[in-house]
Structure 1
Amino acid sequence: MKVGLFIRVSTLDQVNNTDSVETHIERGKLYAQSREWQVVEIYNLAGVSGKSTIKHQQTRKMFDDIRSGKIEGVIISSLSRLARNTSELLEYSKFFEEHNASLISINESLDTSTSGGKFFYTLLSALSTYEREITYERQIASLNYRRKQGKFTGGMVSYGYKIVDAEVVINEEEAPVRRLIYDLFLEHQRMSSVAKELNDRGYVTRKGKSWSDTTVRRLLKNTDAKGVRKCNYRGQLSKDNPSGLKPQSEWQYLPCPTLISEAKWDEVNAIIKDQEKNSKNKQPLNKRVHLFTGYLKCDKGHNLHVITKSSNYRCKECKLSINKDDLEDVFLSRLKKFLTSNEELADYNKSNNQELQLKADEIEFAETQLEKLEKKLEQLIELNLSGEIPTKGFKKHYEPVYVRKENLETNIKNLKLELEKLEQAKTTFNIMANKSLDFYNKWDKLDRGEKRYVVESITREIIFDGQNLNFKLKQIAPLSFLELGQNGRQRGTIL
């Protein structure tokens, strides 16, 4: 068999003359000669630490020689000469096994080409696994204890914070900028506008780079600003988990110093959530030439569009049209009337509460029906077991009830999602109403993108039947209508 000699001698041993490269080479050659093996290569790692040897140039050369078949085995004086790191030792073992090569240790009388040698490595692997698991359990126990104490357990802290004596504290240099980000977003409601403003003011990120809308978004959504720091949510990257995120059940939230009030954080993130919801499956804003495209429909459900070089929204099927400037004026008038009328807001909230209650009643009724079906299924099973319903005819009785039960469960799930959306819309409505009123007061100074944002934020659809406009807000009750003349102009007073 063609073999190589793997030689590693510490620098200290060489200085003290207690060991030498030549001694190990001679010892390896004599052992090979006694087994009638041919030594064809020597891999000299003199002076290399045993802490890690697997990435050394001589080790890589040894691996290449094994792959190419130049050598069929490697002789070492002892396992400690190969590596003092158990995990690396197992990597060596795995490599030799995969390439059908022998690893021979003179001191331990180990030869992995024999059954005894293979058993030794199996035992070593089991002990290593046990050691890793015990170490991991101790680390987890220590981390959990520190988390319960509210102490820092490692990782990075976001902009505006720093670590002092293993505690998360406010970074007084970064904190004013972090707070400013929230204020700027409430003013502009655009990530890119906030980033531009920060860059114009000469601020840079912690790494000295320019601000981007991605960085702004990440900081705005981070809960640490309101005093809740998320931790233990990242694990190892893998093919099955490319993001590295752990299951949400394992995430933990610890208190930390606050940078802004919880109310301000909630207000900002309610706006972000609404923007993200509205942006799904939509064209980029710069492709939307007109404010109400996609929201204005006729009473037959057709979309109204502005044809090139035309000043009117038109429905091709129904031949309806309305002037785009008139529609904008009506929208503003209706918006102001609604937002400044306590009576209308009260009626609107009453309508919302009624719709929420109706949805809740529908869910309660469906759950009662589901309970009855489940009892009926149990009765059918009991009748079958007692022999009153023969097995041959059981399916005819059982299957229709079971199908109804599955359909009802799906319906209940959908109803609960609808109720959740309605409740979210109600929660964010006051915020959006206040912002919409603020936008109204400076409407003439807004650019098209900002005007479009107002329409997207509060509008579900606008129905036009040739005479009346009916404004409907997202997920909640419709506003009362406006009457228009035949030419699309507003007629009479605002209702």
Structure 2
Amino acid sequence: MDVGLFIRVSTLDQANNTDSVETHIERGKLYAQSRGWNVVAIYNLAGVSGKSTINHVNTKQMFNDIRVGKIEGIIISSLSRLARNTSELLQYSKFFEDHNASLISINESLDTSTSGGKFFYTLLSALSTYEREITYERQMASLNYRRKLGKFTGGMVSYGYKIVDAEVVINEEEAPVRRLIYDLFLEHQRMSTVARELNKRGYVTRKGKPWSDTTVRRLLKNTDAKGIRKCNYREPISDSNPTGLKPQSEWKYLPCPALISEKKWDEVNKIISDQEEGSIHKQPLNKRVHLFTGYLKCNKGHRLRIQSKSKNYRCKECKLSINKNDLEELFLSRLKKFLISEEELNEYLKSNNQEIQLKRDEIEFAENQIKKLELKLEQLVDLNVSGEIPTQGFKKHYEPIYNRKENLEANLRGLELELKKLIDAKSSFETVSSKSLDFYNKWDKLDRSEKRYAVESVTNEIIFDGRNIKFKLKQIAPQSFLELSQNGQQRSTILLFVVV
């Protein structure tokens, strides 16, 4: 058998004359001679630390000689000369076993070409498995600990977020668009319309591609926007699990910075859920037979529908009903009253101006808060530089203020976008109201799909409690679907008509 000698002697041993390369070479040759083997190569790692030898140039040459069949085994004085850490020893043993090469250690009387020596491979293999399991347990313990702390544990983050120092934080460049997606859906209630509007405004996805209704749907339904990030729910796709989804019991939910309020997220996903459960999702709304299906609700939130051969919208749960022709007349009457009533138009414009002023006040407040926080941050830096705040404790004081400033700046961008929408709505009000009035004047000449389109164009919601009916008009009164202000005053304009 052709063998090689693997020699490693520390620099200190050579300096103290307690060991030498020549001694190990001579010893190895004598051992090979006693077994009738031929020494055809010597791999000299003199002076190399035993902490790591596997990447040394002579070690790589040894591996290559084994691969090409130049040598069939290696003689070493002891296992400690090969490697001093278990990890590398396991790598050596696996390589020798995979290439059917012998590992001979003189001190340990180990020869893996014998049956007793092969048992050594079995022990090392068991040790390797044990090491992997211990490493895995440590990794899982670390992951679980990070999850409890709400730390990022790997994976992708959705549009509007990014990873900074292994933490999930808001991506200030993407966040306004992500928030806009929810606002657009509340306005139009169509995934494709939202995607079309985003593309029209020049926005693209993170990959630089146009928006699609599929992407919009995924982002709208993702809970991270309201501050709950789902993770640990996927695994590699396999024949046994073609979807790659883990059992729901293994899914984890971690807190993260919220982009929108939980109330707005719930409102959006209630609409999506209703669309998916009913036939609203199965065909375009403007092709529906009945004008107000999907918009008419009772005061408890149930949808009123028309059953086959019936002329009434009914709520099964509350036992309420209203004739479809009566509702159409009421809708037209209410629309006309709004459009031709100077008092109501003035009230709308007044309300719109109030909304704009409130938004400007919020922006001014946010800007002032940001300036104050920036001043505090500068003061903290000065104190740190002067030594009054030690570097070790600086982060504790600095980070909360910095994060608050970041959140305020993100909120400020959203407020500025909302202000722009209010101003645009005010400037386009005359055009929109004129269009709505045109619908009213031509109503009797419109076919069913055109009437449905008119309802979609101006209606956000119609609420009926058995006696009163509330029309929440969407485009001619854009503030009708906004939330309450922080001082508790209602911002929305609710149009009320009493059914007699």
TM-score using structure 2 length: 0.47
TM-score using structure 1 length: 0.47
